[in-house]
């Protein structure tokens, strides 16, 4: 009881208590009336003291706090075909399902789970059709993995005009991490019986793009999933409901959504998505093909544009690091544009082929600073500088852009993308 006793009239308090003491279905309508009355009064008495008013009742579906409204953001190039995860608004490593980035070549199809079928055929002993309930009868696994579009970070370097006013979401938000649940593709391939001569599979989506990609049989038999679950619930329609291919650590487009057909073959099909798209132009007019693995990459998510540090003193630099080759083993931070480096702390859990959150306590002295992060993985791979990256790949390719980003903090606290200053 507060000393002043202000807030809700005593009679209502008693009724609230009475209502809360009631239980059972028969009392539910009575409860609703009582609580509605309390809610109305709570609205009238500003500012409401939450310790004096019965709170909002339970609900079938939760919602975010009014002050926490992160949003996906349409991509700059093709606004209707990709949206980006608000990397700077999130904590830990899991992306809430409704904020998982999207990349659709022909929109989100409406697929009836009742009539959904996955056909596996080609160089197999027994071609089979699996319904969604069929898929769920097999032994399931749940694994935490990142998914990244190979076009992610394409805006981090522009030889014509380096951006400064770009957020981590706009630059690298085609990255999300989920707990994916499904059946190992190897289980299904054993069920149909792969012929010894087979060496590839071709997965095809049931959307209007009918996106298809060739995948080496070795990967399909290793850690590939047919996923139907995402962070504890069924896949979101945007993520491929009712089931998608999920290839841990590999470029996003190989994780074929709304998968309806898998053909076992002895060669890649050379589809549009692996010839005109998703090959990486190199210097001298050649191109990399089948650049499946996503290279190790780290991005600082705080402090970044458009944030302004209000004062000098202790700030926690934060970000995410991930590698398609395995587990992240370290992240180093530089506050002086790469002259000196110091190790960041890796927050648990540190999982293979999953984003890892790193943190670095920084005592800002109020002078200009240039913040960089550089990660390495268990294979010894070290995230390259932009100079090293451009020397190896040239200035043409927009895929697999994993070089070190830079954030410039000026004495007034303003933070902008600063890579242009380092080139
Ligand atoms: N059938 C189908 N699968 C697809 C796509 C698509 O358009 N159609 N887009 C691909 C691309 S380019 C990426 S990056 C990932 C994106 O997955 P997400 O939308 O769940 O984030 O799905 C891939 N699988
Ligand atoms: Mo993609």
All domains of the chain in start order, with CATH: 78-149+176-288 (3.90.420.10), 297-422 (2.60.40.650)
Q: Copy the structure tokens of residue 297.
A: 């990459």
Give the residue-averaged pLDDT of 81-92: 97
Whether residue 15 has pLDDT greater than 90: no
Cis ω before 212 (30° cut-off from 0): no
Higher-pLDDT residue of 182, 31: 182
Answer whether 105 contacts ligand 1 (Cβ < 6 A). Answer: yes
Cβ burial, residue 412 (10 Å; 0-12/13-18/19+)? exposed
Instruction: Tally helices (H) and strands (E) across the chain.
Output: 9, 24
Answer whether 261 contacts ligand 1 (Cβ < 6 A). Answer: no
Closest atom of ligand 1 to 257 CA is 3
- Quickly state the pLDDT bin for 271 (edges 50, 70, 90): confident
pTM score, whole prediction: 0.88
d(CA 235, CA 347): 27
For ligand 1, the distance from its centroid to the CA atom of residue 236, given in whole angstroms, is: 12
Ligand 1, from 83, 86, 105, 250: best to mutate by most atoms within 8 Å of Cβ?
105
Higher-pLDDT residue of 410, 21: 410
For ligand 2, the distance from its centroid to the CA atom of residue 17, given in whole angstroms, is: 55
Give the residue-averaged pLDDT of 391-395: 89
Among 45-54, 71-80, 216-225, the range with the most confident prediction by mean pLDDT is: 216-225
Closest atom of ligand 1 to 204 CA is 1
Strands 369-377 and 328-334: antiparallel
Using an 8 Å Cβ cutoff, are 101 and 230 in contact? no
Closest atom of ligand 1 to 251 CA is 14
In 45-184, which ranges are continuous DSSP H helix? 132-137, 168-172
d(CA 11, CA 41): 12
For ligand 2, the distance from its centroid to the CA atom of residue 181, given in whole angstroms, is: 21
Residue bearing tokens 């002295």: 365
């Amino acid at each position: 009881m507060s000393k002043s006793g202000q807030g809700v009239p005593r009679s209502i308090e008693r009724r609230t208590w009475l209502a809360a003491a009631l239980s059972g279905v028969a009392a539910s309508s009575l409860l609703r009336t009582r609580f509605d009355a309390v809610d109305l009064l709570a609205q009238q008495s500003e500012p409401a003291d939450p310790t004096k008013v019965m709170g909002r009742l339970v609900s079938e579906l939760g919602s975010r706090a009014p002050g926490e409204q992160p949003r996906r953001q349409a991509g700059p190039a093709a606004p209707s075909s990709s949206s980006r995860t608000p990397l700077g608004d999130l904590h830990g490593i899991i992306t809430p399902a409704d904020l998982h980035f999207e990349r659709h070549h022909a929109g989100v199809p409406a697929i009836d789970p009742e009539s959904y079928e996955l056909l596996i055929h080609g160089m197999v002993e027994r071609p089979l059709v699996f319904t969604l309930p069929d898929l769920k009868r097999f032994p399931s696994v749940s694994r935490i993995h990142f998914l990244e579009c190979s076009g992610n970070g394409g805006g981090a370097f522009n030889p014509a005009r380096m951006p400064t006013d770009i957020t981590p979401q706009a630059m690298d938000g085609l990255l999300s991490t989920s707990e994916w649940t499904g059946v190992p593709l190897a289980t299904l391939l054993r069920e149909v019986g792969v012929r010894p001569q087979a060496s590839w599979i071709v997965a095809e989506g049931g959307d209007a793009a009918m996106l298809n990609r060739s995948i080496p049989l070795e990967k399909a038999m290793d850690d590939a999933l047919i996923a139907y679950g995402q962070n504890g619930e069924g896949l979101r329609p945007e993520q491929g409901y009712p089931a998608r291919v999920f290839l841990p650590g590999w470029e996003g487009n190989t994780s074929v959504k709304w998968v309806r057909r898998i053909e076992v073959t002895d060669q890649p099909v050379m589809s549009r998505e692996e010839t005109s798209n998703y090959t990486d132009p190199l210097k001298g007019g050649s191109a990399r093909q089948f650049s499946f693995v996503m290279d190790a990459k780290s991005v600082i998510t705080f402090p970044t544009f458009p944030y302004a540090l209000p004062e000098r003193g202790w700030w926690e630099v934060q970000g995410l690091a991930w590698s398609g080759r395995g587990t992240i083993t370290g992240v180093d931070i530089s506050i002086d544009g790469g002259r000196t480096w110091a190790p960041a702390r890796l927050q648990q859990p540190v999982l293979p082929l999953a984003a890892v959150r790193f943190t670095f306590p920084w005592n800002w002295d109020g002078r200009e600073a240039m913040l960089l992060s550089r990660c390495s993985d268990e294979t010894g791979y070290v995230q390259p500088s932009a100079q090293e990256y451009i020397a190896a790949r040239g200035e043409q390719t927009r895929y697999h852009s994993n070089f070190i980003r830079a954030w410039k903090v000026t004495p007034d606290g303003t933070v902008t993308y600063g890579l242009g200053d380092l080139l």
